[in-house]
Amino acid sequence: MEKAEINELPRISDRVTFIYIEHAKVNRQDGAIVVSDSRGTVKIPVAMIGALLLGPGTDITHRAMELIGDMGTSVVWVGEKGVRQYAHGRALTHSTKFLESQARLVTNVRSRVDVARKMYSMRFAGEDVSSYTMQQLRGHEGTRVKRLYNELSKKHGVEWTGRDYKVEDFANSDVVNQALSAGNVSLYGLVYSVMSALGISPGLGFVHTGHDLSFVYDIADLYKADTTIPLAFEIASEFGKEDDIGSITRKKARDIFEEKKLVKQIVEDLQYLLEVSDDEKLEGEFLGLWDNKLQLVSYGVSYTEV
């Protein structure tokens, strides 16, 4: 099968948010990856996946990775139950305009604080935080999240003693903490896939710093209160430790991300935070064609010679 041209690739907003695979072999057949495990074999059209999460016991061929790279699908290697991110593969990127804006904003103290304030303002429902210091913002956020945990604990009748988990011992956590861990990693994978598609550095964070996924954590924190946190308490009220909490959480998280059209929201929020001008904004359309006169023209259009 020949490599797809850029104008033939699906928009990332049209793709499945993510697919998690563990204890399986991944190969390639034409334009699909073939996943085989003890239950059988399934073909997955890789161009329709935003992010592929590879868990323990997964063997993947070079040919499969070649196809995944050509299709612009992000690959994230994660731990058992999908609760730890070890590494990621390079996704398809053809523009540096987002990266340039990100680098400009994060390397200036004033603009970096301004972007951080914008992030917190988005979480605080439009509250004016223009005069808050970073310390005040963190304290305000801590209070908000603590209140949310307590409200959800009462609503669902789930005991909450605090965020307590060990990356190396997922099963030893209580159900709500297991669900939080699994849901958050799924969210990180989705945010990372959008950043990769836009050519944004996942490591240049404005609130978090010093980690290769700092900006992923920054952006994911914008959505946890509406997605993974309430989902974790809902799951804890319905399931017990004998259930496969990791799998249950990932499936429900995937549905929530799709229902809320989170990919589109992430694109819009990143453009707002990185101060992308109106004439450069993308509305879920990640691909374009360069023109020496017009600079950028729409993809997916037949430009016949005149």
Q: Residue 279, annotated ligand binder?
A: no
Q: What is the pLDDT along the chain (306 residues), one digit of tens a residue?
A: 444 444 444 455 556 677 888 999 999 987 788 999 989 999 988 777 777 888 899 999 999 988 887 777 878 888 776 667 677 666 555 668 889 999 999 999 999 999 999 999 998 877 888 888 989 999 999 999 999 999 999 999 999 999 887 766 777 889 999 999 999 989 998 898 788 778 899 999 999 999 888 999 999 999 999 999 999 999 999 999 899 999 899 889 989 998 998 988 998 899 999 988 765 655 444 333 444 444 444 444 443 443
Single pTM value for the model: 0.70
Q: Residue 62, annotated ligand binder?
A: no
Q: Which domains does the chain have, with CATH numbers?
A: 6-89 (3.100.10.20), 97-277 (1.20.120.920)
Q: Residue 156, annotated ligand binder?
A: no
**What is the three-class DSSP state of 254?**
helix
Q: Give exposure, 8-43, as e/b (b: 16+ Cβ within 10 Å).
A: ebbbbbebbbbbbbbebbbbbeeebbbbeeeeeeee
Using DSSP bridges, classify how beta strands 288-291 and 295-298 pair: parallel, antiparallel or unpaired.
Answer: antiparallel
Rg of the chain taking only CA atoms, in angstroms: 20
The total number of residues shown for the chain amounts to 306
